[in-house]
Amino acid sequence: MVRINIEIEQELHKKAKLNALLKNMTLIEYIHEALETQTKKDRGKK
């Protein structure tokens, strides 16, 4: 596993945190899932 530091807009952070809570996930789990999903989508576009 790799650790990264990212900078995101305050509003995006609030929305992501709320969505994570609604899905009973941590913010890190939510971001990981979002990155994984987008990566799979991007692979399919080639």
Mean pLDDT of 8-17: 97
- What's the predicted TM-score (pTM) here? 0.82
- Round the average pLDDT of the chain to a whole number and report it: 94
Mean pLDDT of 8-14: 97
Are the C-beta atoms of residues 29 and 17 closer than 8 Å to each other?
A: no
Mean pLDDT of 14-36: 97
State the amino acid at position 8 in one-letter form: I
Cα separation values, 14 from 39, 42, 43, Å: 23, 25, 28
Which of 7, 27, 8 has the alpha carbon at shortest distance from 17?
27
CA 9 to chain centroid: 13
Place 46 in a pLDDT band, splitting at 50, 70 and 90: low
pLDDT at 37 over 90: yes
